[in-house]
Chain A
Amino acid sequence: MSIFIDQQTRLVVQGITGRDGSFHTRQMIGYGTKVVAGVTPGKGGQLFDGVAPVFDTVADAVRETDANTSVIYVPAAVAASAIFEAADAGIPLIVCITEGIPVLDMTRVLPYLHERGARLIGPNCPGLISPGRSKVGIIPGNICRPGRVGVVSRSGTLTYEIVHQLSTQGLGQSTCVGIGGDPLIGTNFIHCLSAFQADPDTDAVVMIGEIGGTDEQHAADFVRQAMTKPVVGFIAGQTAPPGRRMGHAGAIISGSSGTAAEKMAAFARAGIAVMKRPADVVPLLKERL
């Protein structure tokens, strides 16, 4: 098993004909993901790479192909609209890779999804992968190995770094989820931790956070109260200057809440093994497995 995606995932790609959308659709197909459809308004009727029929709307794609998961690669200006469209078409799992969506757009998107029972992963995230089963997004498949460690992260490339450490040292992954670096996201640490706790094929979890906000502190409380599986954690931004936005809109320290030191202390109090650097992940996990 795995969380959120597996062999049953039937994917529709929103923005399949764009530069990023087409490149990563080929990567996903190459990995074995069932890409059943693409959507680009105005290009309905085309066939992408001889594999995936392209539709003008997500509703058409769902009706014709029974797609049950969507991934979004459209530009930021129309990304909120793409999420609304996927939810309206009845897609239960929407993964938004697009970065740069205004936060106020997300204040309108999130209640809309909630009312329809749809789960959003992202935005501004690398997506997720259940190694050997399915990949939705942009996480490079070749760095992952099937296995029993769950990974959840606010970052993109830092996730790859840590997954790479795991794979090259013999620890495969059940699912790796990049939840995104924005202040407002659809799926948070707790949603993923809770799914990993319930997944019989996950033995331990790696949680990768960063400065800004209090999500990691809430997640630490959840680990203490509700998790029996071991958790290893990392916080990026120990050397970040206060008050400055570090690329991710979420990665800003303001006042005393949101510093790396505070988050690492919350992890330690909750019994989470705290990494000082990415290379610590395997030794800490092996002590606990």
Chain B
Amino acid sequence: MNLHEYQARDILRRHGIPVPPGEVATTADEAHAIAVRLGGSVVVKAQVHAGGRGKAGGVKLAANPAEAAAHAAQILGMTIKGLPVRRVLVTPAADIASESYVGVIVDRTSQRPVLIVSPAGGIDIEEVAAKTPEKIHRLAVDPRYGLLAHQALGLALRLYRDIAQARAAADIMQRLYAAFYEVGASLAEINPLVTTRAGAVVALDAKIVVDDNELDRHPEIAALRDASAEAPSEVAAREAGLTFIKLEGTVGCCVNGAGLAMATMDLVKYYGGEPANFLDIGGSSNPQKVVSALKIITADPSVRAILFNIFGGITRGDDVANGIVQATKALSLKLPLVIRLTGTNEELGVQILTQAGFSALTDMDEAVKQAVAKAQAA
């Protein structure tokens, strides 16, 4: 789950990291009032889950409250990478002497949390990694002891010559590492970490991505979710316990297991069709999940045919069959349906489907070919 910049800043502030003041506005008038309270020139920043906000015109400097209101009015009407901007953050314009990067991620290869720092801050770190990899420094941290003081200082000295600034940055790194574990993040980054002309070290922008698997035990973080910043079909899928990603094609896919779901999409394309979605109904699926899945797929007007590809393991064929029967009754489904069902409780599942007047295939290639043909004929 992505957090907005203003939410990430709140978390950093709570962990004792120096963050400039600032407030969130949803209207131009609110932005005006915040700019008055802050005094001086301010920056108005779009709060959306997309990178490259600055390039898209979603970050603007304002010399006075009237300008802040005008910028806010404009930015609040924008769409950045398909996402409508509903909030702006208004903060004082920073007086910046230098910009660097500090981030924490979990590294798959070392299987540890890794601190990444770079003196090239303020730009996308992946761009730095591609163009000037020598400017990136990494340290794998032993999670049993956390980021030790001398390790943090060693990294900070890669960023700052001034020992007071290096100590301040090292303290920020240790606090960022603590915040990373405390909120259950998969990414926590400060970009840029700036020094002001007065010499202070401050987190100017922050990004935190929380591991979805942590949300059950962090209700206060789960409550930060901004459903208005996501596609409605994906919100509905998540609430039903499904993983759904909308794509552009016409063959609606309902599959158990992420790997098989991806392979099914690939096979749809192989046989000349285009998948309308990725949908994984997961393991242990009860009939209700299948009903929800069909609702979500049929809500997409570009879907011309629906393909079920179920290979039972922990998912039981009879559960899926019952779900299909229930859903088609409840939704009065008009789209052609191609069902492939095999694996655990296959006989029971096929029996349920046959009694309800459906036929079930056992071969994946055959099912995909039929679904593509039906989508193209419709």
Contact = CB atoms under 8 A, between A and B. Distances in A.
Interface of A: 19-20, 24, 27, 76-77, 97, 99-104, 106-108, 110-111, 126, 138-140, 143, 153-161, 164, 181, 183-184, 208, 210-211, 213-215, 218, 234, 236-241, 244-251, 254-255, 276-279
A107 B111 contact: yes
A240 B262 contact: yes
Contacts of A104: 106, 113, 143, 181, 184, 211, 214
A160 B258 contact: no
B108 A76 contact: no
B270 A277 contact: yes
A240 B278 CA distance: 8
Contact of A140 (B257, B262, B344): B344
B235 interface: no
A159 B266 contact: no
B144 interface: yes
Nearest to A212: B108
Given A110-B111, A140-B313, A208 B278 contact: no
Given A101-B213, A157-B260, A208-B259, A239 B269 contact: yes
A110 B113 CA distance: 12
B333 interface: no
A20 B113 CA distance: 32
A164 B108 contact: no
A20 B260 contact: no
A211 B262 contact: yes
Q: Tell me the interface secondary structure of chain B in the complex.
A: mixed
B265 A239 contact: yes
A24 B315 CA distance: 11
Interface in B70-128: 106, 108-109, 111-113, 126
A237 B265 CA distance: 8
Contacts of A20: 283-284, 314
Contacts of B111: 106-107, 110, 184
Interface in B259-287: 259-263, 265-270, 275, 278, 280, 282-284
B22 interface: no
A110 B111 CA distance: 8
A141 to B, nearest CB: 10
B109 A143 contact: no
A157 B311 contact: yes
Given A104-B214, A239-B275, A184 B365 contact: no
B208 to A, nearest CB: 13
A255 B105 CA distance: 15
B143 A241 contact: no
Contacts of B250: none
16 contacts: A27-B344, A97-B314, A107-B143, A111-B144, A138-B313, A143-B343, A156-B313, A161-B263, A236-B263, A237-B266, A240-B278, A247-B261, A249-B212, A249-B213, A251-B258, A278-B263
Contacts of B342: 164
A164 B365 CA distance: 13
A199 B34 CA distance: 69
Contacts of A156: 257, 259-260, 283, 313-314
From A140, A239, A245, name the one whose CB has the most chain B CB atoms within 10 angstroms.
A239
Interface in B308-346: 311-315, 342-344
Given A183-B108, A247-B243, A161 B260 contact: yes
A183 B113 CA distance: 12
A181 B243 CA distance: 14
B300 to A, nearest CB: 15
Contact of B270 (A99, A110, A218, A276): A276
A154 B259 contact: yes
A240 B265 contact: yes
A107 B113 contact: yes
B127 to A, nearest CB: 10
Contact of A236 (B142, B247, B262): B262
Given A211-B262, A213-B108, A215-B108, A241 B245 contact: yes
A178 to B, nearest CB: 9
Contacts of A99: 282-283
Given A103-B106, A104-B106, A139 B258 contact: no
B264 to A, nearest CB: 9
B266 A140 contact: no
A164 B313 contact: no
B126 A181 contact: no
A158 B217 CA distance: 31
A250 B258 CA distance: 10
